[in-house]
Every structure is written in C-alpha cells, then in structure tokens.
Structure 1
Amino acid sequence: MKQVDVLVIGAGPSGTVASTYLANQGYNVMVVEKTSFPRYVIGESLLPLSMAHFEEVGLLPALEEQKFEVKEGALFIKDGKEFRIAFDDNFTEGWTWTWQVPRSQFDKALADAAEKKGVKIKYLSTLRSIDFDSEDAVKFEVNTQKGVEEYTCKYVIDSSGYGGVLTKMLDIPMHVAPTSNMATYVKLNDDTRDKWENPTQISFEILKTDLWLWVIPFNNGNTSLGFVGNKKYFSEFLEEGADITTCFNNMFEHSIKFKDRFKDREFLWEPKVHKDYMRSSEKFFGDRFVLTGNTTEFLDPVFSSGVAFATESGLKAAKLVERELNDEKVNWQKDYVDHLEYGIDVFRTYVKEWYSGDLQKIFFHVNVNPLVKKQLTSVLAGYVWDKENPFVRKHKTIINTLAQVVDIEKMKA
C-alpha cells in the first residue's frame, strides 16, 4: 500500500493552489483528477484577489508566460449607458489587475506548474473508495488507467467542484438553492472583433433588470458569450426538441450593444444550458477532510466570484491542514467556515441586489460619488473580507439604503 501525506481531489484552481502550497512545505501531495487536461470548464473571468494566491504559492510566473488577456476592470452597459470600473481605482490595497482566461489553457498551465513544484497529478483517475475509520491513516483506492491502486494519507482536500466527490461518498447533503435563474453560454471565433471599439473589453450588458449578457474576449481570438437571468426569458430553450443554437441567437434581440457583433455567428459548439446552479454543502469539513471551491458553495456568475472563492478556500484550507499535520489545534469552524461564509455572504448580498435592480441604480446614477465607486470596485475585485470598507462591513443594508437615496434624487431632479 502506497503512502502520501495529503490527497487532493480535483486539479482545478482550488486543488492546484492547495496542493502546491503543501508541496512547497515539503509534503508528499497527490491529486486525483478524473479528466485529462486541457478540458473545458466555465468560469473564465478572474478577480484580482486570486492573483495574490497564485503569487504566494509560486504559480504566477507560469501563468504570466501564457500572456492571457489582461483584465483591468469591467464595463457594465444598460440602455446605452455605461458604468466602467477600474481595479487600480479601488479602496483596498492589493492587486489592481487580473486576466480573462480560456479555462482549458489556464487550468492546464496551473496543473503543469504544480507538477513542477512537486505535486503528483493522476489524470483520468477517480476515487473508488475511502475509509476514515482508522485513527492511524485514511485509506483510499483509486481507479487509474492501469487498474486499482491502494493508498493511505493523513488528510484529504476535496476540490472536485460540482463533482462533489466526498459529499457523495460521505452522504453530506448538498443543498440546491431555489432560484428562478438559469444560464446559457458558448464560445465563438471572434475573428471580426477588430471592427469594433475596444474589442477585448470584458463587458456585461444588462438587457432587463433580471437578464444580462457576458462578453469575455480571450487572447487566442475566441470570445465567451453567456446569457443569465430569469427562466421566463429562456422558455424556448426548455421546449422539447428545441434548436439551442437558434434559441441562443434569438436572445441577441434583447441586446443593443452586441447584437450586430455576435448574432447569427458560427459558434464553436452548441450552447450549453445550466439550471439550478446555486448550491451549498451542509458541511465544509470533518475528521481529516475539508471541502474547497465549488464543492462548498456556488452563488452566481454575475460577479465572477467562482475562481476567487476557489483559490481563497484552497489556500486557506492548505494552511490549516499544514497546522494540523504539525499537531497544532485548529478551530475549523472559526478559522475556515466562518471566514469563508463571511465573504460568501457579502457576495450573496451583491448578487441579490443586482437582480433586485438596486445595485444597477447605483451603477448608472449620474452622480456616483468617487469614494463610493472606489469602495464598490474593491468588492467587485474580490476584497470581500476588508471590513474597513463600509460596502463590506454594512453590506446587508448599504446597497438598499443608497438605492433609496438615488430614487429620492431622481424625484427631485
């Protein structure tokens, strides 16, 4: 029976950050990944918060070599009006730019760099069984291309995302939040982009208060497109025998900014449709295991929080696992769960107020206070743990209160 110190499930951003941190500390880390890389996955818009995580574990140089499209902020559009944020004009000290990335290339670059740091990654492999009964070691079996392999380890980090490997094996309830929203997305070869102004600007067009379009251009000439919103706008997608490509193209009738650029273009594959994506695990940790990334919770695509929470939770979990392996006492509820849930709760408020329309009112108010804009920008850059920022500290009330002020000012105008 082979031995490793830590088993990590999943070689996405959360798993590679966690495994690389531990390998840097001298631990023998093995990652089990069910697919082969490169592979497609959604979540292509990063936040500056993650850059510090990549830098800390030594993965940043490998990513810089890829020369991804730089993301210095974001453009929000509604009824022809624009609200632009720049990450270098924010309230919180930290990274002021990031990337917009094709995840197939991005995740492979991360995984390859992790292997160079000493992480062992087993591709096309799945966890067959796991046994936490022994106090001495966790026993597990892995299905590989060569057959079944038996191992022991001291700790398990589940970064398997929607796969939820441990949540299924250990019967941990995964709650799917009731939501009226759904998403559909695709990629295309954006070979005519140079005809348009600022063609590589990441943009979010608000088509209705509860319907929006993302446009994420990549450095390889492709662009990611996605519509997200209330299911009432997607009824034809749900009809039996629906032509999903036609349905997707019909959605551009809602768009002022991007209809001419993208309608009736040839896509790289049939658009994907995703429902019931808001979910959370009832349990984030247990005896010698911890869940990270989308395995714990996923909110909504609107503010690109997925990878940010993946790397934050992966790095935080790895540091706490290191302490446990050094026989230190760790309060997982306080140091891990409460920490993550604070940031998740902040973003949950912003998602809620986005679809309520209150956040949109503030964005497109003609007299946005410069300090307010800085503080909002910090939240949208991922700095949702900065309690010096009132838009973090008072997140439950401040958006609604400010939206009411905007309404009053409009009435007076």
Structure 2
Amino acid sequence: MQDLKSFYEVIVIGAGPAGSAAATFLAQLGRDVLLIEREKFPRHHIGESLMPNTYWQLKRLNVIEKLKEIGFVRKHSVQFVNDKGKASKPFYFKERNSHESSATWQVERGEFDNMMLENALEYGAQVIQNTKVIDLIYNDDAVGGVIVKRDNNEQQIRAKIVVDASGTSAFIARKLKIYEPDPHLNKGVLYTYFRGAARECGVDEGTTIILHTKGKDGWFWYIPLKDNVVSVGVVSDIPKLFSDRTLDPCNIFMREVNQCSALKEKIDLATPIANVKVCKDFSYRAKHVAGNGYVLIGDAFSFIDPVYSSGVFLAIKSAELAADTINEALATNDTSATRLRSFEQELVTGMESIKKLVYTFYDKGFSFAKFLKVYPQYQNTLIDILIGDVFKEGVSEIFAAMESFQSQREMECAKM
C-alpha cells in the first residue's frame, strides 16, 4: 500500500478532469500536491463532448498531442433539430475562429480521465486511488486537511488548502450546507450507447446534435464517438420524465425516443451496447467558491446543464483559475476565504453567460433562428458561447437583445 505523508501543501479530492487538472497545474507551479480518488481508473463517466475553448487549458497541461494520438472523434460543430424534425445549419466553430482550437474532441471519459490522471503523475503530483475522503479536519474556523479511508484503515492528512473536485458528490458543499439546487433546471437524464447508428462523414462526422422531442418537452443529445459508437441521452423535467413509476429506465428511454422522430431514424438500425443509466438533480451551485482553507472547482462548485457540453470545459477552466489563485495564496501565506475567492467573480461571470443561454434554450416559445433574423449581429456572440469563449467583455450584451426580442414577441402575441 502506497505510503502517504501526514502533510501536503494542497490536497485535491477527486481525480476527474477538474481534480487532475488542478493537481497538474499546481505541480507545474512546484507545489506539493496529493490527489485522492475514491475509484480505480479507468472508470466510466458521462460527459463526452468538449467545448473548443478547452484547448487552451489542455495546451497548458501539455496533453494536446496525447489527445491527437488517442484518436478521439473530432468535433467541428453543433447542430440543433427542432421538435418538427427540421435541422438548423450546423454552427461551425471555425467560422468564428480559424485556429486549430476550433476543432475539439468527442472523448470516451474513461480513457480521457485516465490520461489526465496519468499526466498529473508525470508532473509530480502524488496520486492515491481506491481511497475515500470521509471527513474534513478543521483548524479553528478553517479547513486544515482530510480524513481518508482505504483498506478499512482511517488516516488523517493535513494540508494548507483542500480543493474539492469530487464532482456531483459536491463533498464540501453538502457537508458545509452551502449546496443550492437550481429550481429552474430540475432535470433528469437517461442515457445509453449505440453501435452502428447513422452518422455523417468528413467534417460533420463528429457534430454534436441536439434534438427536441415532441412539443419541446425534452431533448436528446447525439454524440458520435470512436469505434462507430454514439452516445445518446434524453433530458427532461424530472416529474415528466419519471411520471409513470411502472416503467423501467429502458422503457422510459424508448418512450422518449418515440417522441423524437429525427432521432428514431438515426438509431433505427443501430445496436444498443449498454444498459440505460439514470441521473437526477444535477443543476446546482454552491453559495461560494471558497472558504478558509478550501476551494471548490468543477462540478463540486456548480453544474449547469449538459445541453451546451460545458461541463469539462468549466471543470478545467475553474481548475486553472483556482490553481493560480492557490499558488499566490501559498506564496503570501494567506489561505483565507477572501484571498481564495479572488477568482470567483471571473468564473461566475463566464458561467452565467452559459447558464442564461441554457435558460433560453428551455423557453419553448423562443426561436434562435428567428432571433438571429432580427439580430444577425449576435451570430458571432452566440458561437462564442457555444465554443466557451465567455471569459471576456461584451458577451452578456446578447441577453439584453434576447430580452428585447422576447418582450416584442409577447406584445405581438397579446395583440392577437
């Protein structure tokens, strides 16, 4: 059994994309880091589609060439299909950005996450798997370490800063009771995988397709992966999705497929290769991103919604912002909440742009096509959000235009 020291500068809980990235960034900066993972990698995880702007954090992590060598399907665009089966023109990322970063990847998370973990090891982070964090250690009003359990043995490990990257477990947020579900996004998910489903060729092979179900009561993602596999999932309101308690997940999934003729055509001759899996309660945010001696990143801080594939991007971006802040905090020996929250405004501002676009997507009366006919000047801004270029000024201007468009639409409806 691998020996652990009793003290590290930083302990990171969870070795998903956020945790492995944070550990790598900190190790690159010369920090003494312990990365703790409760499972044994590789392991299955949902969330395969990357946003293009993830490229810049992946480049800093020095994994771009590794991704190219693995041979994941390249993603050049995203396309939307309405509830009548009419497909939009694909939003090609290169139209906004000619750099190679405009083409991203559709990844199998088991393989991707394992690559990220091994990269942290290569940069000098200590990694321990099959180890569960069961409690926090406190120094007065600050978090000062963790208590772990492995092979039925408990051990206290102290640190100057604890980073929670535990994903939707949101270990610290739930423990400190700062976890807040989003009442506007009470969604559930059912997903599975097919081999031999319909897919395009060339530049469109890896297009993420978003397909509305009948009446816009829900939507499907359609993500082409390597080895002729496609990830397919349906998202809808929890009460609606699970209204019939006599149905098992597979029957619910197929019920929703029958409400989406465009998807049904794509998978009609395909072979299911996995059981239907269920996720619930996945839109939330902690009250704050950090406190005395601790920082929350990735899904441990917030998860918005899968519709624009922002999960991995925000995980790695938050890891980068947190790591730089932690490095400066350690350099000045200031691990207070005030110091560790210094990146919160930047992170939340970018996240809010994505969240507002998610809210708009779920507005059944809103049409992006009609909006862009009235406001064609916001076509590039919309693509900016779809690629993850949200950490800059001016992005939020599109939402004032959307509100104006909505108000005008409501006035016209009232006159009818």
Q: Which interval holds the TM-score relative to the shorter structure?
A: 0.7 to 0.9
Q: Distance in 1 between matches of 2:269 and 2:393?
A: 46
Structural RMSD (CA):
3.1
Q: 1:61-103 deviations in whole A, cap 9, x for unaligned? A: 3223211111111111123232311111227989312111121
Selected match of 2:396 from 393, 397, 409:
393
Q: What is the match of residue 20 of structure 1? A: 24
Worse overlay, 246-255 or 392-401: 392-401
- Structure 1 pair 325–211 and aligned structure 2 pair: CA distance change class (3 A): same
Q: Distance in 1 between matches of 2:216 and 2:30?
A: 50
Selected match of 2:389 from 375, 383, 389:
383
Q: What is the match of residue 250 of structure 1? A: 255
Q: 1:154-184 deviations in whole A, cap 9, x for unaligned? A: 2111111111222244x23211122464333
Selected match of 2:78 from 74, 77, 85:
74
Q: What is the match of residue 133 of structure 2? A: 127
Q: CA deviation at 1:129?
A: 3.1
- Structure 1 pair 244–263 and aligned structure 2 pair: CA distance change class (3 A): farther
Q: CA deviation at 1:307?
A: 1.3
Whether the 8 Å CA contact 1:249–1:264 is kept in 2: the answer is no
Sequence identity of aligned pairs in percent?
23
Alignment of 1:299-378 (within 5 A): 299-327=304-332, 331-332=338-339, 335-357=342-364, 361-363=367-369, 367=373, 371-378=377-384
Q: 1:9-65 deviations in whole A, cap 9, x for unaligned? A: 010111111110110111121111111111122211111121111111223332232
Which consecutive unaligned segments of at least 5 residues does structure 1 have? Answer: none
Q: What is the match of residue 39 of structure 1? A: 43
Alignment of 1:269-284 (within 5 A): 269-284=274-289
Q: 1:377-406 deviations in whole A, cap 9, x for unaligned? A: 011111112214xxx232442223245678
Selected match of 2:297 from 292, 295, 303:
292
Q: Distance in 2 between matches of 1:264 and 1:250?
A: 17
Whether the 8 Å CA contact 1:204–1:212 is kept in 2: the answer is yes
Count of equivalent residues = 404
- Structure 1 pair 29–13 and aligned structure 2 pair: CA distance change class (3 A): same
TM-score by length of 1: 0.87
TM-score by length of 2: 0.87
Whether the 8 Å CA contact 2:291–2:340 is kept in 1: the answer is no
Whether the 8 Å CA contact 1:9–1:157 is kept in 2: the answer is yes
Q: Which amino acid aligns with 1:400?
A: E
Worse overlay, 182-191 or 153-162: 182-191
Which consecutive unaligned segments of at least 5 residues does structure 2 have? Answer: none
Whether the 8 Å CA contact 2:192–2:232 is kept in 1: the answer is yes
Q: CA deviation at 1:119?
A: 1.5
Q: Which amino acid aligns with 1:129?
A: D
SS at match of 1:322: helix
- Structure 1 pair 370–77 and aligned structure 2 pair: CA distance change class (3 A): same
Q: CA deviation at 1:146?
A: 7.2
2:226 counterpart of 1:219: yes
Q: Which amino acid aligns with 1:247?
A: I
Q: Which amino acid aligns with 1:229?
A: S
Whether the 8 Å CA contact 2:371–2:405 is kept in 1: the answer is no
Q: What is the match of residue 259 of structure 1? A: 264
Q: CA deviation at 1:260?
A: 2.1
